[in-house]
Amino acid sequence: MNVTIGQKILIGFGVVVALTLGLGWYGLSKLAEVREITFAVVDRDFKAMESLREIGASRDAMKVLRERALNVHLLRRAGLTDQDPTPFQEAWFRDQERTQGMLAELEAFCAERERAGLSPQRGVQWGRLRQTVRETQEALKESAVENRLQFDLMRRGDLSQVIARREALERLRQTFDDRVDSGARLVQELLEGGKLLVASAHEEAKFSTLVALAVVVALGIAASLMIQRSIARPLATFMQFVERVGQGDLTGRAAVSGNGDELGRLGQGLNEMVAGLKEVAGQTRAVTGNLNSAAAEILASTQQQAASAAEQVAAVQQTTTTVEEITQSGAQVSERARQVATASEATVTASQAGMQAVRDINRAMEAIREQAEAVAENIVALSERTQAVGEIVATVRDIAEQSNLLALNAAIEAAAAGEQGRSFSVVAGEMKNLADQARDATVQVRTILEEIQRGINSSVMLTEEAVKRVEGGRQQVGVAEGTIGQMAGSIQEGVQTFQQIVAAVNQQQIGFEQVTQALKNISLATEQTASGTRQLERAAADLNALGQQLQKSVERYRT
Amino acid sequence: MNARRKEIDWEEVRARLRQGEMALERVSAPDPQKVEAVYRRRAAQLAGRPARAGAVSPPLSVLAFSLGEERYGIELTALAEVAPFAGCTPLPGASPEALGVVNARGEVRPVVDLARLIGLPEGGASGHVLFLRREGAGLRVGRVEEVRQVRPEELTAPGEGGVDLPIRCVKGLVPKTLILLDIEAILEHPIFREVLA
């Protein structure tokens, strides 16, 4: 779950504010409850008390009315007045009716409160009040009956009786008063009870509000602790890590909290920073090491250079000597090259004579080839003659064959002639013999002709071979001619080369003199180099010391 | 070259050539002694003829010719002419034995293959034709060889020689493997009636 620190703080404040709001709402609701109870107690109890007070006042008015009615009767009786007492009596009855109504109303009110009291105890008290009101009503009714009786007695003028019955009336009135007083006491008790009720409601509200306050405070502290834990602990870790880094320890890694809040990013940033520092420190260390070794190498090579500068001076002197020797031997080389060039010119003349001889050989070979070809043509002509002979022989053989047939037919004719043809048959037989001999001779001649033809063929082939070999000889002679020509050309080039060598050696002599002068300059410059090298050596030593100081300062970082 | 292996002697070569020329001249003009010898031999042959005429029975002149592997003979008296066989014009619808007709000195003559007629395999392309005196028909045979004189008492009966031929065509057997054919019997063959009709 990715919750940033800002979101965490916002959530904590939100929780605290919500708890505070709830606590305020709860206290206000408790206050309203207490006010309701107070209002209920004050309204109802005071209403009952007022009602009882009016009832008392009404009873006092009724007493005054009865007294005045009695007085009027007494005065009429004494003849001191002719005032009619009836209106007072009637007024008394009206008051009695009214009081009766008020009592009934009070009783109904008490019955209602008894059913819906704020507490069971107040219900019981209200019940007792209702009972007292009922008894007051009873007393009032009895009083009404007694008064009606006394008024009748007054009207009839029986005052003594009236006075006699005053005791009873007084008793009834006493009872009524008692009841009203006890009702007033009950109302007083109700008031006391209401005060207790209000006090207890107040206590309860106070207690529960305090409990809620404690819960809110506890929750606020818990939220603050959680936020503090999630921020301050990683921060402390990071602080330790950063202190270690400050002391040069780059080996550790900041603990990166898993969720991607600001601290996680801070940890990642610290890690990357330390990695970068580590790399920089490592590189710096490596570079410093390289620098030190390089400074040492520079120092060493500067020392070597100083030594080699001295060697160089010696070598330059040796070189000068050698160059002088070379100059002398160059003159000898020039003389030898001139001799060789002269000898090479003689060789060129000889090779030209060789070329001429080779050309003569070539012409002779050509003549041989032409004669061999003539021989071949002659032989071929002979072969053609042989073919003509063969044709003649074939003709002779045909003639022999026909002669044979002729002899046979002659024999047949002779046989047909019978005895007369006998000698003719002998001639026919001779003819046949001759024809046979001629045929045999042609066979022999043919055999000989074939042998001659074979001999001619092999002769032609041998001649062809000879012509080919002569041609090969011509080619080889041509190769020899080319070789001799190349040789003559290269000898000619050699002559030119030697002439160039002579010229070059002369130039070389001049160059060697310049070299000798230059070597003297080099010797001078080498001595200057030696002095410069000593300065360089001192500078390299300084550089070496600086590199070691740098390495010490870098080694403070442990990677 | 050959000259390198063996030096040639040009003098000897020229001598050999001269000898060759002389030999050629000798051939052109024959030796008189040799000519004399030839003449004497021929005279002797001619002189010997009357002695044979007085024999007990006159010999038969037989023309010998080859046919396949064997040698056959026909009496000269039965023959009219011998000619080289140079092909013939075939006759449509004829039997296989009848080869066709040829023009012999202006006359049209039928030619019959003797080999087939006597039950032998057909002969080669070359050969001769024997024209018979009777009927004028031609018999195609192999190569004609010679004329032989056969004494009748020398003949062996066909049954004794064991020759594998239609026995009626064989007149007799001559020693030295010559089979003498009976021309009369051959002409009995129906083919001649067919070709001569």
Q: A286-298, pLDDT tens digit by residue? A: 888 888 888 888 8
Angle between helices A86-115 and A120-155 (to 10 degrees): 170
Burial class (CB within 10 angstroms; exposed 0-12, middle 13-18, buried 19+) of B119: exposed
Q: Which of A411, A423, A426 sits opposite B76 (nearest CB)?
A: A411
Give Cα separations from B9 to A74, A225, B14, B40 (angstroms): 234, 144, 9, 45
Joined tokens for residue A23: 């606590």
Q: Range with the lowest mean pLDDT among A424-428, A499-503, B29-33, B35-39?
A: B29-33
- Supply the mean pLDDT for chain B: 78
Indicate the pLDDT class of residue B50, thresholds 50, 70 and 90: low
Contact B1 A412 (CB under 8 A): no
Q: How is chain B split into domains, by residue range? A: 2-52, 60-196
| Number of residues that this document lists for chain B | 197
Give Cα separations from B168 to A271, B139, B162, B181 (angstroms): 139, 18, 13, 9
Q: Which of A411, A423, A466 sits opposite B147 (nearest CB)?
A: A411
What number is the average pLDDT over the span B51-62? 65
How far apart are alpha carbons B88 and B113 in whole angstroms? 11
pLDDT at A334: 80
Coil, helix or strand for B8? coil
Residue B98: beta bridge partners? B112
| Range picked from A393-402, A521-530, B85-94 for highest mean pLDDT | A393-402
How far apart are alpha carbons A348 and B162 in whole angstroms? 102
DSSP secondary structure letter of residue A256 = -
What number is the average pLDDT over the span A11-37? 87
Q: Does position B53 have pLDDT exceeding 50, yes or no?
A: no
What domains can you pick out in chain A, each with its CATH number? 5-238 (1.20.58), 281-554 (1.10.287)
Phi, psi for residue B83 in degrees, rounded to 5:
-140, 150
Indicate the pLDDT class of residue A259, thresholds 50, 70 and 90: low
Indicate the pLDDT class of residue B85, thresholds 50, 70 and 90: confident
Indicate the pLDDT class of residue A396, thresholds 50, 70 and 90: very high
Q: Range with the lowest mean pLDDT among A303-312, A528-537, B163-172?
A: B163-172
Q: Which residues of A touch B (CB under 8 A)?
A: 405, 408-409, 411-412, 414-416, 422-423, 425-426, 428-430, 432, 462, 466, 469
Contact B131, B141 (CB under 8 A): no
Contacts with B63 from chain A: Cβ below 8 Å: 408, 411-412
| Number of residues that this document lists for chain A | 559
Contact A139, A130 (CB under 8 A): no
Q: Is the ipTM of this complex over 0.85?
A: no
Joined tokens for residue B126: 């070359």
How far apart are alpha carbons B165 and B173 in whole angstroms? 12
Q: Does position B5 have pLDDT exceeding 70, yes or no?
A: no
Contact B147 A469 (CB under 8 A): no
> Which residue in A531, A544, A545 sits closest to A300, CA to CA?
A544
Question: C-alpha angle with apex A319: A318 to A320, nearest 5 degrees?
Answer: 90
pLDDT at A534: 82
How far apart are alpha carbons A540 and A296 in whole angstroms? 8
Phi, psi for residue B181 in degrees, rounded to 5:
-90, 145
Q: Does residue A8 or residue A383 have the better pLDDT?
A: A383
Give the CA diameter of chain B.
Answer: 81
Q: Does position A126 have pLDDT exceeding 60, yes or no?
A: yes
Q: Does position A321 have pLDDT exceeding 90, yes or no?
A: no
How far apart are alpha carbons B113 and B95 in whole angstroms? 11
Contacts with B75 from chain A: Cβ below 8 Å: 415
Q: Which of A411, A416, A428 sits opposite B133 (nearest CB)?
A: A416
Residue of B nearest to A464 (CA): B1
How far apart are alpha carbons A505 and A331 in whole angstroms? 7
* Superfamily designation of domain B60-196: CheA-289, Domain 4 (2.40.50.180)
Q: Which of B2, B53, B82 sits opposite A409 (nearest CB)?
A: B82
Q: How far is B82 from chain A (nearest CA, A)?
A: 6
Contact A180, A136 (CB under 8 A): yes
Residue of B nearest to A415 (CA): B77
pLDDT at A445: 92
Helix (H) or strand (E) holding A471: helix A422-554
Indicate the pLDDT class of residue A447, thresholds 50, 70 and 90: very high
How far apart are alpha carbons A125 and A137 in whole angstroms? 18
How far apart are alpha carbons A55 and A428 in whole angstroms? 218
> Which residue in A73, A95, A90 sits closest to A82, CA to CA?
A73
Per-residue pLDDT tens over the stretch B111-161: 888 888 877 777 666 788 899 887 788 888 888 888 888 888 777 766 554
List all residues 6 or more positions away from A501 whose beta carbon is below 8 Å from its beta carbon.
A333, A334, A337
Contact A278, A558 (CB under 8 A): no
Residue of B nearest to A466 (CA): B1
> Which residue in A140, A141, A142, A134 sits closest to A165, CA to CA?
A142
Percentage of chain A modeled with pLDDT above 90:
8
Joined tokens for residue B90: 């075939």
How far apart are alpha carbons A558 and A551 in whole angstroms? 13
Return left, alpha or beta for A418; rule: phi > 0 is left, psi -120 to 50 is alpha, else beta.
left
How far apart are alpha carbons B181 and A404 in whole angstroms? 23
Joined tokens for residue A213: 């306050």
Q: Range with the lowest mean pLDDT among A5-9, A174-178, A180-184, A221-225?
A: A5-9
List all residues 6 or more positions away from A37 whose beta carbon is below 8 Å from its beta carbon.
A118, A194, A197, A198, A201
Percentage of chain A modeled with pLDDT above 70:
98
Amino acid at A183: G
Contact A411 B84 (CB under 8 A): no
